[in-house]
Amino acid sequence: MKRTILTGVAAAALFAGQAPAGGHLAFAPGDGPFNWDSYNAWADSAPDLSGQTITIAGPWLTPEDGFLENMLAYFEEATGADVIYTGSDSFEQQILIDAEAGSPPNIAVFPQPGLAAGMAAKGQLSPLADGMGDWVAENYAAGQSWVDLGTYPDASGNPQMYGFFFNVNVKSLVWYNPENFEDAGYEVPTTMEELKALTEQIVADGETPWCIGLGSGAATGWPATDWVEDLMLRTQSPDVYDQWTRNEIPFDDPRVIAAIEEFGWFARDDAKVSGGAGAVATTDFRESPNGLFTSPPQCYMHRQASFVPAFFPEDVEFGVDTDFFYMPAFADKDLGNPVLGGGTLMAITDPSDGATALMEFLKQPIAHEIMMAQTGFLTPHKGVNLDAYKDDTLRGLGEILLGATTFRFDGSDLMPGAVGQGSFWTGMVDYVGGKDAAAVAAEIQASWDAAK
C-alpha cells in the first residue's frame, strides 16, 4: 500500500541545503523541474514493502551519501520500505569480505565494472530483472554501451546483465577561456580536423595552444592514458577499443601505436604545449590548467575530465573565465560521437523483493533528477528534465552524455593493474620524453604478457 506523500507547506518545510542523516523529501512533491507524473504513476502501483529493510553499500561518503538518502526517501515513501545505505572508503575490499562471508548487502554500488564482473563470475551477483537490458538500450543515450558495460559472464560462463549504471562522469572534454578565444577570434571546433587546424593556427599566431601535465606523484602518466583512450575512440571503432582493453589485440598493434602518435602530435611538439614538450611529464596535472587564466594566457586549451574545475583558481567563474567543449571526433571517419568516462553501477548482491523494486525505481526519471538537483550527478537517461541539473556546468555535461553515440569506460581501469595503473602510465611518460611509440607499446605489451 502506498504511503502518503507530504505536499505543500509540510513538504517544503523539510527542504534543507545539506542532507541530514537518514534522508528526507528534499523537494516538495509537485514542485520543481521533476517528472512527478511518472513518479506518481509508479508509486500508485509500487509494492507494499512495509516492514522490509533494504541494505545498500558503496563508496559514497559525506555529503554524497546524504544526497543519495534524500533520493531514496521518495522510494521509501512510496513503498514503506526502510533503505539503509552504508558508505566506506574501503568498499572494494569490504564487499568481497562480506560476499565471501555470506552477508553482503542487498545492493552494492560498484565504482568500476571490473570488480562487479569478478563477483559475477563467482556467482556472487544476481542478474537484473528480465527486460532491463532492453529498457536501458532504449532509454539511455548510447544505450547498448551501458548494457554491454553491465553484462558479464556468470559462474557458468553465460553472459547476464548485472549492472545498472547510476551516476557517470565525462572525460572527453576540452577546457578553454572564452574571453581569450574571443579576443583572438578563435571559434570552438566541432570536428577533430578543426581542432587540429585551430592548434596550428594558434602556433602560427605566435601563441601556445595547449597546457598538458602528466604529473601525479606515484600515478604520474595517467592523464596521457586518457588522451590515448579518447584518440582510440576517434580513430577506431568501439569494437577495436574493446579488443584493445581486453588484450584481444596486442598493445603494439599498429592501430594502438597510431593513437599514441596522435597524442604525440599534440604533446611532443615544443610549439604546441606550454613549457615545451620537455615539461609535459613534470608538470602536475592539478597545476596544468592554470595557464588558461594567466594574462597573457600561457595556453588556450586543456583536455581533462569533468572534475578538473576543482583545481582551477578560486576566482574563476564558469561561463565567464572558463567553459568546455566536447573533444570532437574526426569528420572523415564516421565514428559518431564517442564519449570516454567512468561511472558507478548498482548490482544486486543479496536478492529480495525490495532490492528488485528499488532497481525498478532507479529507472524512473525522478530518481535521477533528485540527484541531479543536489550534487555533481550526471546521467545518460533520455527521459530526465535537463532543467533539474544543479548548474549550467552539469547541464552542459549532461547534454554531452545525451549526444553520445558510444560510451566507453576509461580503458586503463579495465586493464590489469600492472598495465592500466603501471606500465601504461610509465610508458606514456617515456613516450613524451622522446621514446618511440612502437617501442613503448611493445614494452607495455610485454608487461601484459607477464601479468597473465
Residue 112's pLDDT is: 84
pLDDT over 90 at 16, yes or no: no
Q: Note whether 216 and 360 are within 8 A (CB).
A: no
pLDDT over 60 at 108, yes or no: yes
Measured N-to-C along each axis, helices 64-79 and 36-44 cross at an angle, to the nearest 10 degrees, of 50
Question: Hey, what's the cell of 52?
Answer: 522490509
Q: Read off the pLDDT band of 319 (50, 70, 90).
A: confident
- Cα 37 from Cα 364, distance rounded (Å): 11
Q: Read off the pLDDT band of 56 (50, 70, 90).
A: very high
The pLDDT > 70 percentage for the chain reads 95
Residue 22's pLDDT is: 67
Mean pLDDT of 290-314: 95
For Cα atoms 140, 142, 144, give the angle at the middle one, nearest 5 degrees: 85
Q: Read off the pLDDT band of 5 (50, 70, 90).
A: very low
pLDDT over 90 at 12, yes or no: no
- Cα 380 from Cα 409, distance rounded (Å): 14
- Cα 398 from Cα 55, distance rounded (Å): 29
Q: Model confidence over 357-380: pLDDT tens digits?
A: 999 999 999 999 999 999 999 999
- Cα 261 from Cα 437, distance rounded (Å): 7
Place of cell 539511455: 140
Mean pLDDT of 311-328: 94
Q: Average pLDDT over the chain, rounded to whole?
A: 94
- My answer on whether omega of the bond before 296 falls inside 30° of 0, hence cis, is yes
Up-side HSE of residue 119: CA atoms within 13 Å toward CB?
A: 31
Q: Read off the pLDDT band of 266 (50, 70, 90).
A: very high
Q: Model confidence over 371-422: pLDDT tens digits?
A: 999 999 999 999 999 999 999 999 999 999 999 999 999 999 899 999 999 9
- The 3-state DSSP class for residue 171 equals coil
Domain architecture of the chain: domains with CATH: 8-169+340-409 (3.40.190.10), 173-336+412-451 (3.40.190.10)
Backbone angles phi, psi at 214, to 5 degrees: -105, -5
Question: Hey, what's the cell of 305?
Answer: 575530465
Measured N-to-C along each axis, helices 254-267 and 424-432 cross at an angle, to the nearest 10 degrees, of 50
- Cα 2 from Cα 22, distance rounded (Å): 20
Q: What is the pTM of this model?
A: 0.91
DSSP 8-state class, residue 290: G
Q: Note whether 351 and 126 are within 8 A (CB).
A: yes
Q: Model confidence over 232-248: pLDDT tens digits?
A: 999 999 999 999 999 99
Q: Model confidence over 175-190: pLDDT tens digits?
A: 999 999 999 999 999 9
